[in-house]
């Protein structure tokens, strides 16, 4: 009985840690009990050793070892921008930091240096969301430089999946030979044909022929020339000046020609260059959502995998509401069911399906207008609900939903069409 009452009377404040940090921040602002000054360029930042040590293993090691900094009142922090350092020290006292396009490339390496792992993770997650064919190679190089393995993996995967879009960008032309080699030798490279890979290699070499032509044989050894069409091999590859002028490159072309001309001998000619690639595939599925059955709206949802399942449809978790005339679209790998009719009334509610958990979520904010037969599309990170009808008339209202800016809670009337 005594033990029970002791536990029951135990005070546990959920705000204690936050309040304590707030008080420490106020002490720092008033320069009370501060025992170290961090100096970066023109910036002098007062702080408490114990706070910095609690947040950063870098500072913990600095202040608890026999390093000279243990006893120094002022410590110079090299290679970190003054405003970036100030933002990171503010994070140690508040747990808050603003990350955007203008500062992420300064904050991430600084967070890596100071071993502020939460900030490092937040920067990597931010950059993952910014991945695009125009920047994925730059982010890939940035992640590699700062040993951000998860971000590097995501950028690498994005580049492999979107290779055909990436090769037309400036970043591609400035790849190092090692980075280019790593990409084109991958079995997971998503290229419609080896012709595209060959053309990309030639494009890269031509950007700086004097320095790059010596790498051509090695790069061509990663292009699966035997899988090119005979016409392309003869009329394009064999006639390429850079190839014709290099004996090792010509040998690779001859190997490919022999493979194509001697089909009987192909079993004895198998190797890395005759192996078809197995590109990374986005799990593309077809969904049949709601509709009518036996004269009534239904909530059932079926899915078909065109790659694995052929024409076999399988039921997945049903929606929370019956919906016919429902508008559907996919945003960030989540399936949205917008509006529709439940057999009795027109709906403005929204449900969101996560294929990873096979669950529907109904916590998405409703549209401003109840409607069925609504067109829904995803564009540039937002959903758009277009037109439809509300039971009385056809609608020309277009609404926009941006989960990044509204925390997923609001549909905005975006404008009128027609």
For 291-298, what is the mean pLDDT? 86
pLDDT at 418 over 60: no
Beta strands in 80-183 (DSSP E): none
| pLDDT tens for each residue of 129-147 | 899 899 999 999 999 988 8
For 207-214, what is the mean pLDDT? 95
Split at pLDDT 50, 70, 90, the class of 85 is very high
Q: Which residues contact 54 (CB under 8 A, 6 or more apart)?
A: 60, 92
Residue 171 burial (CB count, 10 A): 18
pLDDT at 7 over 60: no
* Structural contact between residues 253 and 234, judged by C-beta atoms closer than 8 angstroms: no
What is the CATH superfamily name and number for domain 286-415?
Kelch-type beta propeller (2.120.10.80)
- Spatial CA neighbour of 346 closest among 325, 377, 320: 325
Residue 100 burial (CB count, 10 A): 8
In 167-298, where does DSSP find H-type helix? 170-173, 177-184, 194-206, 209-212, 216-220, 230-232, 241-244, 247-261
Please list the residue range(s) of the chain that carry CATH number 3.30.710.10: 17-130
* Structural contact between residues 11 and 38, judged by C-beta atoms closer than 8 angstroms: no
How much is the pLDDT for 409? 61
* Cα–Cα dist 396/388, whole Å: 8
* Structural contact between residues 43 and 83, judged by C-beta atoms closer than 8 angstroms: yes
* Cα–Cα dist 206/153, whole Å: 28
| pLDDT tens for each residue of 16-75 | 777 787 888 788 888 788 888 999 989 899 999 999 999 999 999 998 887 787 788 888
Among residues of the chain, what percentage have pLDDT more than 90?
A: 49
Please list the residue range(s) of the chain that carry CATH number 2.120.10.80: 286-415
How much is the pLDDT for 240? 95
For 89-99, what is the mean pLDDT? 91
CATH topology for 17-130? Potassium Channel Kv1.1; Chain A (3.30.710)
CATH number of 175-268: 1.25.40.420
Please list the residue range(s) of the chain that carry CATH number 1.25.40.420: 175-268
For 105-127, what is the mean pLDDT? 93
How much is the pLDDT for 138? 93
């Amino acid at each position: 009985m005594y033990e029970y009452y002791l536990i029951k009377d135990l005070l546990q404040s959920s705000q204690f840690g936050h309040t304590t940090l707030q008080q420490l921040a106020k002490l720092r602002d008033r320069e009370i009990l501060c025992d170290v000054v961090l100096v970066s360029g023109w910036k002098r930042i007062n702080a408490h050793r114990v706070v910095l040590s609690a947040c950063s293993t870098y500072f913990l090691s600095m202040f608890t070892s026999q390093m000279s900094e243990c006893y120094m009142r002022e410590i110079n922090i090299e290679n970190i921008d003054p405003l970036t350092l100030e933002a990171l020290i503010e994070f140690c006292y508040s747990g808050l930091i603003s990350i955007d396009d203008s500062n992420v490339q300064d904050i991430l390496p600084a967070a890596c240096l100071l071993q502020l792992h939460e900030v490092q993770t937040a920067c990597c997650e931010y950059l993952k969301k910014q991945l695009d064919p125009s920047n994925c190679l730059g982010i890939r190089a940035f992640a590699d430089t700062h040993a951000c393995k998860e971000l590097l993996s995501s950028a690498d995967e994005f580049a492999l999946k979107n290779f055909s879009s990436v090769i037309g960008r400036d970043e591609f032309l400035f790849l190092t030979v090692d980075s280019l080699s790593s990409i084109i030798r991958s079995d997971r490279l998503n290229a419609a044909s080896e012709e595209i890979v060959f053309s990309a290699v030639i494009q890269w070499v031509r950007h700086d022929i004097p320095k790059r032509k010596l790498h051509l044989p090695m790069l061509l050894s990663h292009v699966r020339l035997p899988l090119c069409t005979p016409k392309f091999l003869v009329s394009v590859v064999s006639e390429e000046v850079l190839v014709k002028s290099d004996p090792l490159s010509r040998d690779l072309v001859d190997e490919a020609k022999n493979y194509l001309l001697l089909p009987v001998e192909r079993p004895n000619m198998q190797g890395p260059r005759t192996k078809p690639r197995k590109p990374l595939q986005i799990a593309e599925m077809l969904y049949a959502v709601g509709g009518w059955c036996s004269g009534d709206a239904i909530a059932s949802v079926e899915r078909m995998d065109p790659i694995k399942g052929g024409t076999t449809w399988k039921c997945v978790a049903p929606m929370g509401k019956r919906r016919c005339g429902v508008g559907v679209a996919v945003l960030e790998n989540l399936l949205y069911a917008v509006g529709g009719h439940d057999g009795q009334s027109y709906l403005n509610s929204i449900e969101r399906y996560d294929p990873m958990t096979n669950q529907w979520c109904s916590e998405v904010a409703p549209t401003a207008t109840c409607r069925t037969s609504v067109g829904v599309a995803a564009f540039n990170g937002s959903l758009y609900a277009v037109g439809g009808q509300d039971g009385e008339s056809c609608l020309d209202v277009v609404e926009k939903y941006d989960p990044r800016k509204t925390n997923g809670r609001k549909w905005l009337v975006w404008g009128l069409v027609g």
